[in-house]
Amino acid sequence: MNRYAFYVIWCNTLTIHVLFVVPYLLEIRFSGSIMAVALCTIPGSIFLVSIIKSLGYFPNQGLPEIFRMFMPAWARVPFLLFFSVMIVAKACLILGYAAFVINQYLLPQTSSFPFIAFFFLAVAWGATRSSKTVLSTLELVILMTTPFIYFVFTKSIFSRGFEWNAIKAMYDYAFVLPKWQDVTIANTVFSGFVVLTIFNRMIPSKINGKFYALILIVSLHLIFIQFMIPIGFHGTSGVGNFLNPTLTAIDAMSLELGIFERGLLLYLLAFLFLNVMEATITLHVGVELLKGCFSMESLNKPRKNQLISWITISLYAVLTMLIFYFFTIKEILRYAINFLELRFYTELLLVVLVAVFARMKRRRSI
């Protein structure tokens, strides 16, 4: 197994899931959220296996190169543009809402816009680096932050304020069938595979079969840990009174570890690094897909290449700040849920296209 393939999917699970998916699952906790998590593993596993197997037929090539082989320009450009917009929009959601969360818990008296602007500057610099640099930085961030994340999770579960009776009460709702929308949103935990369409240029295409089981186990246990902690602290009824129940629950835990008196500060520091890294990866992939819309001559000029990246990121940064200015956070979260549902069908289209092209290439080679 190539460790970088694991890192990009794991980072996605640790970030967007806490920001958007867990609050939604807790909102529908009596309407099939547990079963939605179980069922989402089916399409998630199919997507993951299909995309990795299909990309194996295109070693050291990304999605733009694959589309150039099988699509004329009039078809290739709209598809790449659509996928790029969807991926960059995800990065903007992560960055904007993460900035809001950090601002609310650390400096609630100040505006969140300086945070968004600062985060975009940091992410823009990282996203314009080479794919190799981005992956190396990701590995460093994962290795630095994961121990702190799991330390906080462990302390939370074994804290005196954690009520196991509340967790047991959720067993009564374990087999309630969810809506299809709930399954598609829970499936977001597996959406990290999308970035492999660009990192396939760097990551070896042949991946050990044990990789799929590892991803499934890691993703599921993270979902249930982040789902259980708020219920354990706030109860099955009280958990619905908070905008971000996971962070509120961790804030209720006393850590008493040097300068970290409460668990939230330590968690937020690790959470900040992970979110900036996830936004960097996602934005890097989105910009690389957008570059695939241009001619190879334009991309071979370093200055023009960098100019495309910075202009694209600047436009999205301004758009993100405008959205967070004109809409309330509850409205943004509601639109984000609709976006996550649309993301599912976008990824389905992506997987089908790459699988079809892989089949076409296999037939050509026979």
181: CATH: 1.20.1740
The mean per-residue pLDDT over the stretch 92-105 comes to: 84
Whole-Å CA distances, 3 to 10, 150, 151, 207, 278:
10, 19, 22, 10, 16
Q: Write down the pLDDT at residue 258.
A: 61
pLDDT digits over 111-141, tens only? 778 888 888 888 888 888 888 899 999 999 9
Short-list 331, 254, 323, 317, CA closest to 286: 317
Task: Give pTM, 2 decimals.
Answer: 0.91
| C-beta of residue 31 within 8 angstroms of C-beta of residue 170 | no
Strand partners, 195: none
Q: Write down the pLDDT at residue 260.
A: 64
Token pair in block for residue 4: 């970088």
Short-list 297, 274, 328, 355, CA closest to 48: 355
Asked whether the predicted pLDDT for residue 269 surpasses 80, the reply is: yes
Task: Give dist(CA 195, CA 185) in Å, integer.
Answer: 18
Asked whether the predicted pLDDT for residue 214 surpasses 90, the reply is: no
Task: Give dist(CA 237, CA 320) in Å, integer.
Answer: 34
Task: Give dist(CA 306, CA 282) in Å, integer.
Answer: 17
More confident residue, 217 or 296: 217
Q: Write down the pLDDT at residue 297.
A: 65
| C-beta of residue 240 within 8 angstroms of C-beta of residue 231 | no
Confidence band for 1, pLDDT divided at 50, 70 and 90: very low
Q: Write down the pLDDT at residue 259.
A: 63
Bridge-based pairing state of the strands 254-257 and 260-262: antiparallel
Asked whether the predicted pLDDT for residue 251 surpasses 70, the reply is: yes
Structural domain including 157 reads 3-365
What is the number of domains present in the chain?
1
Averaged pLDDT of the chain: 86
